[in-house]
């Protein structure tokens, strides 16, 4: 999934050592099934049929599409799996900004409300239109792997797929896992958040970005404007499921500064927002790291 992934767990004696390798295969299965880089993936099959014909999907894919539809509605359109096409304009390795004309050419291809989704059939009505599960599948994989750990009899452990984490039980002594939140500017961790059970996801402007004329442009793009978010440097959210935490942290990054915390508070999601000399937290007492 393009990132470092790990499972930490205490294995009772009656559980074979190779059970974690078996569980890890679930993450590999999901990457193969939904990667936009594989021509044989479900996502590629849907995108290749754009403007031509509907594609029928299986139950697992249908559930993820339903989740994306709810996310789009609940976020006011800020969470939109059709917005990945903006990567055609944005190359964060180039050091050069796209032109407004490049972005304007792509904006008409964005909009979940254009997608004809009636399970089990999905149709992208415009040629070149795409969907991208980049903001969904890794988090879903975290939850799936954590669930499999529990189903195999593991009770103390942590799944970490590229910084999206799910604790399926405390450490062996009952203490919480301490999850570091990276310092958005500089090295090391800005804070450590205790997590006994549940999931934590962090979105930030420090993983993929470019600085142009002293301004940072990150990979989290607003589907309405085609331009990167610029309100927060980092948003961390805790929920029972990582797929929900990932959606919420992404939307938090895209919300206006005076709305992000209010939106997360209304959902009663514990969160930590970091910005230029600004920190907001709700139902969290992170320690300085």
Q: Which residue has the tokens 């139902």?
A: 283
Q: What is the pLDDT of residue 134?
A: 86
Q: What is the mean pLDDT of the chain?
A: 94
Cα–Cα distance for residue pair 107/77, rounded to 1 Å = 13
- The residue whose two tokens read 């709305």 is 259
Q: Which pLDDT band, with edges at 50, 70 and 90, does 28 fall under?
A: very high
Residue pLDDT, tens place only, 117-172: 999 999 999 999 999 998 899 999 999 999 999 999 999 999 999 999 999 999 99
pLDDT at 82 over 90: yes
> For the chain, how many helices (H) and strands (E)?
7, 15
pLDDT category of residue 2 using cuts at 50, 70 and 90: low
Q: What are the tens digits of pLDDT across the range 195-223?
A: 999 999 999 999 899 999 999 999 999 99
The 3-state DSSP class for residue 3 equals coil
Percent of all residues in the chain with a pLDDT value above 90, rounded to a whole number? 81
In the structure encoding, which two tokens stand for residue 102, read together?
A: 């490049």
Question: What's the pLDDT at 31?
Answer: 93
**Of 110, 105, 120, nearest in space to 72 by CA:** 110
Q: Residue 281 — very low, low, confident or very high, per pLDDT cuts 50/70/90?
A: confident
According to the model, what pLDDT value does residue 288 have? Answer: 60
- The pLDDT confidence band at residue 3, using thresholds 50, 70 and 90, is confident
Give me the pLDDT at residue 258, please: 86
Q: Is the pLDDT at 289 greater than 60, yes or no? A: no
Cβ atoms within 10 Å, residue 147: 16
Residue 67, pLDDT > 70, answer: yes
Domains of the chain as residue ranges with CATH = 37-123 (1.10.3980.10), 176-288 (3.10.520.10)
User: Is the Cβ–Cβ distance between 280 and 262 less than 8 Å?
Assistant: no
Terminal Cα-to-Cα distance of the chain (whole angstroms) = 27
How far, in whole angstroms, is CA 114 from its chain's centroid? 22
> Which residues fall within 8 angstroms of residue 51, CB to CB, at 6 or more apart?
124, 125, 126, 127, 128, 129
Token readout for 89 is 């304009």
> Is residue 61 within 8 Å of residue 71, measured between CB atoms?
no
Residues 48 and 121: their CA atoms lie apart, in Å, by 15
Averaged pLDDT, 32-45: 95
The contacts of residue 213 (CB under 8 Å, 6+ apart) are: none
Selection from 233, 169, 154 nearest residue 199 by Cα: 169
């Amino acid at each position: 999934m393009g990132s470092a992934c790990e499972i930490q767990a205490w294995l009772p004696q009656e559980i074979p050592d190779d059970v974690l390798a078996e569980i890890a295969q679930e993450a590999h299965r999901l990457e193969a099934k939904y990667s936009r880089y594989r021509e044989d993936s479900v996502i590629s099959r849907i995108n290749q049929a754009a403007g031509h014909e509907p594609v029928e999907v299986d139950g697992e894919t249908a559930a993820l599409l339903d989740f994306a539809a709810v996310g789009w509605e609940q976020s006011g359109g800020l969470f939109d799996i059709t917005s990945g096409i903006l990567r055609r304009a944005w190359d964060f390795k180039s050091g050069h900004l796209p032109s407004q004309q490049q972005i304007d050419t792509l904006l008409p291809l964005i909009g979940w409300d254009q997608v004809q989704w009636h399970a089990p059939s999905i149709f992208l009505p415009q040629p070149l239109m795409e969907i991208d599960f980049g903001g969904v599948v890794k988090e879903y994989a975290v939850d799936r792997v954590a669930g499999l750990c529990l189903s195999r009899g593991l009770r103390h452990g942590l799944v970490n797929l590229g910084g999206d984490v799910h604790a399926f039980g405390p450490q062996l002594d009952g203490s919480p896992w301490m999850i570091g939140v990276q310092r958005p500017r500089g090295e090391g961790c800005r804070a450590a958040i205790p997590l006994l059970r549940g999931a934590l996801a962090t979105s930030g402007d420090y993983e993929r970005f470019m600085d142009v004329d002293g301004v940072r442009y990150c990979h989290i793009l607003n589907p309405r404007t085609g331009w990167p978010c610029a309100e927060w440097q980092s948003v961390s959210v805790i929920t029972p499921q990582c797929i929900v935490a990932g959606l919420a942290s992404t939307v938090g990054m895209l919300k206006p500064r005076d709305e992000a915390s209010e939106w997360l508070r209304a959902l009663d999601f514990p969160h930590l927002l970091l910005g230029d000399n600004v920190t907001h937290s709700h139902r969290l007492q992170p320690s300085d790291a």
